[in-house]
Copies of this chain bind each other. A is one copy, B any other.
Amino acid sequence: MSGRRRAGGGRRARAEPPAPRRDVNYRTLRNPFPPMNLFTQDRVEAMHAAALEVLERLGIKVLLPEARALFKAGGARIAPDGEMVHIGREMVEAALASAPRSIPCLAGARHRDLVLEPGALVFQPGAGAPHATDLKRGRRPGSGQDFREFVQLTQAFDVLHMIPPVVEPQDIPTHLRHYFTLEAQLTLSDKLPFIFSRGTPQVMDSFEMLRDFRGLSDDAFHGSSHCYTIINTNSPRTLDIPMAQGIIDFARAGQVSIITPFTLMGAMAPITVAGAITLSHAEALAAITLAQLARPGAPVCYGTFTSNVDMKSGSPAFGTPEHFKASLAAGQLARHIGLPWRSAAGSAANLNDAQAANETQFGLWGCLMAGATVVIHAAGWLEGGLTVSFEKMICDLEVLQMVAELCAATEAGEAEIGLDALAEVDPGGHFFATTQTMARYQSEFYQPLVADTANFGTWQEAGARDASQRATAIWEDILAQGPAVAVDQARADQLRTFIAKRTAEGGAPPES
């Protein structure tokens, strides 16, 4: 979970001095996996060129007049029907030139700060689910309590680096929901918070809350990135009002937009990987262009979420070979334009079983080998995003922690090769008590979170619990420990006062 871990020991009595304990850093990861290419470079360039042609010739429908005005001022042609925007390639190229390659993000504590840039590796749990589920309370509409509990769980694991809106707190009125979700993030976590793009009034409320909670001046807030939003285009080729407004508001405030077209192959996108990713790329480029028109240099993260539908049922499928390939293709386009980028794992399973584990991990490896900067839905996501499971979050966290272990350097010096240790043990002997083992037994190996390696008999005697049942005990234990961050009470009081005032004034309904 966090930095210093309980480790090893107990297997047998040992002489003094004790071996050093395990110390891990899962907070700042670099992707150690060699990037995998799906297509040759000329095909990547052809897809990029096709996306530019889509934007120029076919255009993208932009529903927000302010956004159309920005595009027009930047040189775009607005079609006679008034909503279709045709964006020239030179505008896109200018935007790609002004978008930063590296985005420093300031969280609630310096050791939680992030830099979003190619080569970095940042994990988020599943996000945006209308439902929550666990073995104790069953599947239900996401609530405020669920939202707070998922913030606590996200805070508890160093390998989760940003807070997303894991579930939609449906019992909180929509005009007050942004107060609730940001208060939960700020008071239960010191990680980078998420703000919904549901219209300027909510966004401005949220910026003000965050600025004051961090004790910043307006200039200091705007001078650095302190939060992020997710921008989903409406594929194919539509940018709706709250999303366009979010791009503009976040760009002007110097806050991070993560651009994520959601393009299901064979449904809202072409059936081919190349076609779906070309569409996704075109839409992402349009959104990036808008951000750069609103404020050159605005921090934007390129992104995609492309998977396929199951052609038998018509349902979305995740963790498929096509999903994996789409991540690889998007990674090539991200490298082509040089921006940090977001990809996604995911599962269509309906419970935390072998399918769920296999799909999420398969999708994760697609993201890792595609060189994704931010991997969202990396833990807990079920039913193609309709539910987040407490137990699945714990089980997926095991995989993320194991991946994080692979990000650390492994030594093969003389001490590790250890000819002395090899000479110490005769044929037929064992290495339990070599000098090398004694010095390292508490620190050499990753210690599992939920995996149980007991033999069958011991496991049966202990109740024959599967991974889901063991995961229940783990999240219950974490939640029972209560919030894990120190909060400045004066700032928290000020935050609540602000929320009370704004609530009395009627809050801020979402825009659509």
Contact = CB atoms under 8 A, between A and B. Distances in A.
Q: Name the residue among A58, A266, A309, A458 with the largest chain B CB count within 10 angstroms.
A: A266
B436 A467 contact: no
Interface in A446-466: 446-448, 450-456, 458-460, 464, 466
A169 B3 CA distance: 47
Nearest to A58: B423
B267 A430 contact: yes
B8 A311 contact: yes
B50 A274 contact: no
A402 B320 contact: yes
A417 B274 contact: yes
B399 A33 contact: no
A383 interface: yes
A272 interface: yes
A372 to B, nearest CB: 16
A121 to B, nearest CB: 14
Interface stretch (A100-108, A158-166, A242-250, A359-367): A359-367
Contacts of A351: 464, 466
Contacts of A434: 270-271
A29 to B, nearest CB: 13
Contact of A352 (B269, B309, B322, B354): B354
A206 interface: no
Nearest to A275: B418
Contacts of A354: 352-354, 356-357, 392, 395, 466-468, 471
A481 to B, nearest CB: 21
Contacts of A314: 11
Interface stretch (A215-223, A406-414, A498-506): A406-414
A61 interface: yes
Q: Name the residue among A57, A310, A358, A454 with the largest chain B CB count within 10 angstroms.
A: A358
A428 interface: yes
A464 B350 contact: yes
A419 interface: yes
Interface stretch (A36-44, A183-191, A194-202, A294-302): A36-44
Given A272-B440, A310-B448, A358 B355 contact: no
Given A320-B446, A466-B351, A43 B272 contact: no
Nearest to A282: B422
Contact of A455 (B8, B50, B315, B419): B315
B422 A317 contact: no
A358 B345 CA distance: 14
A453 B61 contact: no
A312 interface: yes
Q: Name the residue among A271, A425, A444 with the largest chain B CB count within 10 angstroms.
A: A271
Interface size class of A (residues with CB under 8 A): 35 or more
B273 A410 contact: yes
A6 to B, nearest CB: 9
Contacts of A386: 455-456
A455 B385 CA distance: 11
A483 interface: no
Contacts of A427: 60-61, 84, 234, 236-238
Contact of A348 (B237, B451, B468): B451
A34 to B, nearest CB: 4
Interface in A131-190: 139
A430 to B, nearest CB: 6
A274 B411 contact: yes
Contacts of A47: 412, 417
A34 B32 contact: no
9 contacts: A9-B311, A38-B412, A39-B412, A272-B417, A278-B417, A278-B422, A311-B444, A313-B454, A353-B353
**4 nearest interchain CB pairs?**
A321-B405, A274-B412, A357-B357, A274-B416
Interface of A: 7-11, 32-36, 38-39, 43, 46-47, 50, 53-54, 57-58, 60-61, 84, 139, 234, 236-238, 265-275, 278-279, 308-317, 320-322, 324-325, 329, 348-359, 361-362, 365, 369, 383-384, 386-387, 392, 395, 398-399, 402, 405-406, 410-414, 416-419, 421-423, 425-432, 434, 436-437, 440-442, 444-448, 450-456, 458-460, 464, 466-468, 471
